[in-house]
Amino acid sequence: MFPVLATILIIGSVILMVLWEFRPQIDEYIVPFFVDLLSVSEEKQTQSPIYLASSRLESEFRLLLKRANKIAWLGSPEMQSNSLKPLLKKMDDSARLRMILVEQKSLENVKELVNKLDLSVEIISRPRIHFNLVVTEKNLAVSSAAFPLKVKNPVHVLTLIASDSKIVKDAQQYYAAFFEGASDYPKDDQIYTPSSELPRKSKSAFVNTSNGLNDLMYGLLSSAKNSVLLVSPFITNGVAEFLLNVIPREVQVRFITQVDWRNWIEERSDPEALEMLLSDRVVIDVCPNLEANCIVVDNQAAILSSQNLTTQSCFFRDEAGIFTRNKRLIDDVLQRIESWKPMHRFTMELLEQEIASFDSFLKKEVAPPHTVPEQQEAEPTTTDDGEPLAPTLLGFSSLTQTEQESKTGPTQQEPLLPATLPGEPEWMEDIVYVGKKRTVEYVRACQHQLKRKGSVTIRARGRLIYRAVDVAEQLRLLTERKLIMYKNSIKIETYYPTGKETKWGGISQIAITLHQKN
């Protein structure tokens, strides 16, 4: 018996090794053969005008392009030529091929590929696009991940494939206008307002940034009654605050995302956004290798698109997706989401661990040197008790008058934002510089300064100004004694890194001074 089992194991191992060795050829030739033979995707499209694509997106896309006879239009931030080659080889030569890309390297690789295949293709670069579209004369595929998807590890993606004539026609108009740079699209009657429930006459519709994707999202979230499911790999502070303000308080909110402190370095996500959601009513589940973007409201309406929950995606990129009220389709999407593994509940303790990893990485990094004017005092890095302050911000080192200046005389440059004003009590300079750490850390630093000296000045610049306001407001709510502000306790100005006033080179700055009432 043992020799038979050993022989079976050896033969099975050899077969697996051979299959693994020739995996690219199997994906390119054998898998498409069985897909065409079974016609699973074609049968789905016959039964439903819109459906959720399977996890093997290459097979789905290959079938779409193979059936394209007139047009085959692709749009994605980047395309991998190795994955694109087997798809283009199956295309009909009569189909008009167009591509919209972002990355120049990807564009050059695709051009080299189509030249080898002797295909006629029109390729343009649009730096703002983030959508992932496959448009043919009869079908449309909208994906949340870059096309085509070819990765070693399994990636969780949501892709919708539609054959509805209205959806396909709208996508064709959008792509054509975008490709040709038409200025008359969209028309006024195609703009969706927050009060409208899109669509009233049909269950599904093609939506994009131009025809009011953000307004549609606002309208859906504000009209939620029971539950909201949010799926996005990234989230930033501004969008997190928007969600908490728009979604009614009594609605249960669940957010599925990926959490990795490396994304914070590239400013894809903000740890403060996660802290903000955890501190409120939001349940967060972490799903590694997540590339899906989806919003489901009350299990009755959904938006599947390429739009991340970030300021960059919501306001500075061109996104596209599909809105639907198709109950069967929404159920399929929810089942697909629940099947993603691994997935675990995210807590404040896990956030603290990620922040610790992030802080340890920052300590290893060497800060780039910057020059300080000779007549300008360097900012203190520690308090009197030896506790570290937040990193100094470029341009703030000359904003206030220090103790040493009061002994040696003022410098030639007058202080831009004085710590005290005429008629106010003279307080020692106590400054907290707001950076990219958690808001609660700056609140604690301000509480320490108030306890020591009775006053604190909160300063920030650029995109961090909003956080300085948050720190001041939380400090006001948490402090037992009443905080007071004098007439000119809030100062704003523009700092010019070059030292000369220019039209576009300024950085906004703010200084908020709070005093503790005796």
* Residue 193 within any structural domain of the chain: no
Do 389 and 499 belong together in one domain? Answer: yes
Which of 177-191, 266-280, 288-302, 430-444 is predicted with the least confidence, judged by mean pLDDT? 177-191
On whether both 490 and 416 belong to a single domain, the answer is yes
CB-based contacts of 148-152 (< 8 A; 24+ apart in sequence): 148/57, 148/58, 148/61, 148/79, 148/80, 148/83, 148/84, 148/87, 149/57, 149/58, 149/83, 149/291, 150/58, 150/80, 150/82, 150/83
Domain annotation covers residue 136: yes
In this structure, is residue 497 part of a structural domain?
yes
What is the mean pLDDT of the segment spanning 32-51? 56
Identify residue 249 by its one-letter amino acid code: R
Handedness of CA 192, 310, 509, 372 (dihedral sign): negative
Task: Measure Cα distances from 4 to 1, 7, 85, 201 in Å.
Answer: 5, 5, 43, 66
pLDDT digits over 236-268, tens only? 888 888 898 889 989 999 999 999 888 888 888
Say yes or no: 360 and 213 in one domain: yes
Let me know whether 392 and 336 are in one domain: no
| Closest alpha carbon to 316 in 167, 486, 102 | 102
Q: Choose the most confident range, by mean pLDDT, from 278-282, 301-305, 361-365.
A: 301-305
Is it the case that residue 498 has pLDDT exceeding 70? Answer: no
Please give the distance of CA 497 from its chain centroid, rounded to a whole number.
29
Total of domains in the chain: 3
Predicted local distance difference test score (pLDDT) of residue 161: 92
Whether 42 contacts 64, CB under 8 Å: no
Average pLDDT rounded to a whole number, residues 53-61: 75
φ, ψ for residue 294 (rounded to 5)? -160, 145
More confident residue, 414 or 160: 160
Residue 221 lies in a domain: yes
Neighbours of 501 (CB within 10 A): 9
pLDDT attached to residue 505: 55
Question: What string of DSSP letters covers 209-241?
Answer: TTTTHHHHHHHHHHT-SSEEEEE-S-B-HHHHH
In a domain, 190, yes or no: no
Average confidence (pLDDT) over 132-138: 90
pLDDT band for position 230 (cuts 50, 70, 90): very high
Q: CA-CA distance, 276 to 290, in Å (whole number)?
A: 21
pLDDT at 303 over 90: yes
Q: What is the mean pLDDT of residues 173-183?
A: 77
pLDDT of 212 > 90? The answer is no
Confidence of residue 382 (pLDDT cuts 50, 70, 90): very low
Sign (positive/negative) of CA torsion 59, 306, 127, 358? negative
Query: In terms of pLDDT, which residue wins out, 96 or 368?
Result: 96
My answer on whether 143 and 216 are in the same domain is: no
Distance CA 197, CA 204 (A): 12
6 inside domain: no
Q: Which two tokens stand for residue 136?
A: 């043919």
Which pLDDT value is given to residue 49? 86
Clarify whether residues 172 and 69 are in a common domain. yes
Mean pLDDT, range 358-385, rounded to an integer: 53
The answer on 352 and 478 residing in a single domain is no
CA distances (Å), origin 310, targets 177, 232, 233, 259: 26, 9, 10, 14
Q: What is the mean pLDDT of residues 469-492?
A: 81
User: Is 92 a domain residue?
Assistant: yes
The CB density around residue 8, as the number of other CB atoms within 10 Å, is 10
Query: In terms of domains, do 407 and 505 share one?
Result: yes
- Mean pLDDT estimate for the chain: 75
Q: 183-197, 346-360, 477-491 — which one is most confidently predicted on average?
A: 346-360
Residue with tokens 């509805």: 164
Q: Are 343 and 218 contained in the same domain?
A: yes
Q: Which of these ranges, 111-120, 292-301, 348-357, has the smallest mean pLDDT?
A: 111-120
CATH number at residue 485: 3.30.110.20
Query: Which of these three, 316, 337, 365, is where a domain ends?
Result: 365
**Domain of residue 289, residue span:** 209-365
- CATH number (domain holding residue 302): 3.30.870.10
Cβ distance 517 to 483 under 8 Å? yes
Helices (H), 89-212: 104-117, 165-180
Residue 509 lies in a domain: yes
Pick the residue with more confidence: 411 or 225? 225
